[in-house]
A = this chain, B = another copy of it.
Amino acid sequence: MSTSNRPSGRVANQLRDVRFTRHFTKHAEGSVLVEFGETKVICTASIEDKVPGFLKGKGQGWLTAEYGMLPRSTHSRMDREAAKGKQSGRTQEIQRLIGRSLRAAFDLEAFGERTLHLDCDVIQADGGTRTASISGAMVAAYDAFAKMVAAGTITSIPVKQFVAAISVGVHDGQPVLDLDYLEDSNCDTDMNVVMEDSGKFIEVQGTAEGMAFDRSTLNSLLDLAQDGIAQIISEQKRVLGISA
């Protein structure tokens, strides 16, 4: 994958700079600023000592996620969802995806009747906000559980697998990794992939925009995603001080 027509000049299988800043804000049990290039998301993990009604008395925990964008995180200002009085379908779709992905990472039965709330708030958007959110929420959640271990509330971090996510797509006829906004607005296929560190898939969501895609394109995209996610998980572990 030598040359590339990507607006960013990146080669096809090249991630943007991925950075996790832990302890970004001070109140949350876990708080991470995740950056995928110019995309910046604050991910916080908050522990609450109760579970939703449908789980009461079952002795297990719950994990849920919410997602938002600051009104001017985007190129032109979006209406504030709180002022409009409802979350868009896109917002709900994304926060459901984050929740499902992170529930795959942790053992819900191992932290008692507690809820872990993940809040992913985009402060600057440049494509890939949902995959950055999932990847950053993993680190924030890990930190929150580590704090519970340190406090003696639970005996070990209930992690089953590390999870991370990345987008891939077909840009200018070429499968590429980690679309930024410019690529995302001009791609034919857009796919978001969530994966475990085992290399297995949690979610695969591919959408043809403009032109349908065939099996071989799908395979190229999945190859790119698997490589990219492996790098992200490796960075997650590095900032958490976990040997791979």
- Residues of chain A having any CB pair with chain B under 8 Å: 25-28, 31, 38, 40, 42, 44, 46, 48, 66, 68, 70-77, 80-83, 85-87, 89-93, 95-96, 100, 104, 117, 119, 121, 123-125, 161, 191, 195-196, 198-208, 212-215, 218, 222
Taking a contact as CB atoms under 8 Å apart, the answer to whether B200 and A80 are in contact is: no
Q: Report the bound CA distance from A27 to B222 in whole Å.
A: 32
Of B27, B72, B85, which contacts A27 at CB under 8 A? B72
Tallying the copies of this chain within the complex gives: 6
For the complex of A and B, the 6 pairs showing the least CB-CB separation, nearest first, are A200-B212, A89-B92, A81-B82, A44-B72, A46-B77, A28-B72
Which B residue sits closest to A99, measured CB to CB?
B89
Q: Which residues of B contact A93 (CB under 8 A)?
A: 89, 92-93, 96
Question: In the bound complex, how far is the Cα of B144 from the Cα of A72, in angstroms?
Answer: 13
Residues of B within 8 A of A71 (CB): 44, 46, 66, 117, 119
